[in-house]
Chains A and B, each alone.
Chain A
Amino acid sequence: MAEIDSSGGGKKGGGKKRSKKMSTKIDMTPMVDLGFLLITFFMLTTTLAKPVTMQLNMPDKTDTKETSPVKLSETLTVIPDEFKVYYYQGIPTEAGTKLEVTDYSDTGIRKVIADLKKKIGNNFTLVIKPTKKAKYRNMVDMLDECAITNNKRYALLAIDPASEDLIKRSGK
């Protein structure tokens, strides 16, 4: 039967009962392991979430001073749409202007820009006119292509009716 021994540990019955001496030291190694594991985990997960940025400089609208003019023969106009890219050289209203269409892959618009840049040289200027259906991603892709082909001369413009007509006329 369960019973509380209230005798006070006298010399009653058998020998003197001694409580076993326990060591006060615990092995801390696994706890240290856990601590450092958590530190490492938190440190790695916090540094990985840093965003990167892409700088976009737009021309100053209040500055009316004419800067160096760009020759039309040295420009390429690209019109990013949601899934494809139109491009042409020259004036959109002229009958001889040929509208081409390509995609966003490595061999698509990147090759076009790189080839033309090689042909024209340092004065090459890219004019970007996204369509009304274009997504933000498409514009960032085009700026990215400029960074990849190391082209520092580009202009971001709104699409004009002449270019829209050209797309409609070509039927692509």
Chain B
Amino acid sequence: MPKVKAKRQSVSLDMTAMCDVAFLLLTFFMLTAKFRPEEAVTITPPSSISEKPLNAKDGMLTISVSPEGGVYLATDDQLAREFMLERMASRYGVALTAAMKKNYMSSEIVGYPAGAMRQVLSIKPSEAKDKGFIKGIPVDSANNELSYWVGYAKLSNPNLKIAIKGDQNSGYDTFSDIIGTLQAQNINIFQLITSPENKPK
């Protein structure tokens, strides 16, 4: 009777398929990842113990406040963005060209008085930022343009949620101006964006 020999098996297995999967996943995640919208200024929000995530299901209108008190507006609703520009331009008598519209849509934020709109939109967003044109939307009682921007955004999408992202060192007076502006339009619920902090005890 012949001796039964155990068949010797190779220890190395083919990794090609696994490698394919790994890089496919990597490519997928990299392509689907959304870039953080460009910020006109660096804003460090204050910390709070709140753990509620940002609710951005039906669109979000973010009002940012820089440490110097500049007010900036951003929204993830593209239709509302376009609508806002068209209405603001017609209100302030600015003739929109296709190039201006393109520059507007390619920058994430709105942050200039309507008077400077033609000047800002005629150049590329990065150039406007370098030249220091992005100074913020006026919110004082004499010239409250934020009220129009927000009003038109709400007209386009009434479900827009309002988030306020203030720098921790921005003055309270700017914040109360913004709240006052929004309350005048019967917007009473705000989400204040903060950075997480540990709960005491």
Give the contacting residue for A52; candidates B168, B174, B190, B194; CB below 8 A.
Answer: B194
Known contacts A56-B190, A58-B188, A148-B199; A136/B46 CB under 8 A? yes
- How many residues of chain B have a CB within 8 Å of chain A? 53
Give the contacting residue for B192; candidates A31, A50, A140; CB below 8 A.
Answer: A140
> Which bracket fits the contact residues of A?
35 or more
Give the contacting residue for A132; candidates B26, B33, B173; CB below 8 A.
Answer: B173
Min CB–CB distance A46 → chain B (angstroms): 6
Interface status of B166 (Cβ within 8 A of chain A) = yes
| SS of B interface (majority) | mixed
Closest to B186 in A: A62
Most buried by A among B26, B163, B167: B26
Interface status of A72 (Cβ within 8 A of chain B) = no
Instruction: Give the residues in chain B near A135, CB-CB below 8 Å.
Output: 168-172
Closest to A130 in B: B172
Most buried by B among A39, A148, A156: A39
Instruction: Give the residues in chain B near A28, CB-CB below 8 Å.
Output: 14-16, 18-19
Q: In whole angstroms, how far apart are the Cα atoms of A35 and B165 in the complex?
A: 36
Most buried by A among B190, B192, B195: B192
Min CB–CB distance B132 → chain A (angstroms): 23
Closest to B45 in A: A51
Q: In whole angstroms, how far apart are the Cα atoms of A130 and B171 in the complex?
A: 10
Give the contacting residue for A54; candidates B36, B168, B191; CB below 8 A.
Answer: B191
Instruction: Give the residues in chain A near B194, CB-CB below 8 Å.
Output: 51-54, 140
Interface status of B55 (Cβ within 8 A of chain A) = yes
Min CB–CB distance B101 → chain A (angstroms): 30
Q: Please state if B196 and A136 are interface contacts (CB–CB under 8 Å).
A: no
Q: In whole angstroms, how far apart are the Cα atoms of A130 and B176 in the complex?
A: 10
Interface status of B22 (Cβ within 8 A of chain A) = yes
Q: Please state if B48 and A35 are interface contacts (CB–CB under 8 Å).
A: no
Interface status of B58 (Cβ within 8 A of chain A) = no
B43-62 CB contacts (< 8 Å) to partner A: 45-46, 48-55
Q: Please state if B53 and A50 are interface contacts (CB–CB under 8 Å).
A: yes
Q: Please state if A27 and B15 are interface contacts (CB–CB under 8 Å).
A: yes
Q: Please state if A140 and B12 are interface contacts (CB–CB under 8 Å).
A: no
What mask results when residues 30 to 48 of chain A are scored 1 for a CB within 8 Å of chain B, else 0? 0110011011001100100
Q: In whole angstroms, how far apart are the Cα atoms of A140 and B191 in the complex?
A: 12
Residues in chain B within 8 A of chain A (CB atoms): 12, 14-16, 18-19, 22-23, 25-26, 29-30, 33, 36, 45-46, 48-55, 65, 163, 165-176, 179, 183-184, 186, 188-196, 199-200
What are some 10 contacts across the A-B interface (CB < 8 A)?
Answer: A51-B53, A51-B193, A53-B192, A53-B193, A56-B191, A58-B189, A134-B172, A144-B49, A144-B50, A158-B176
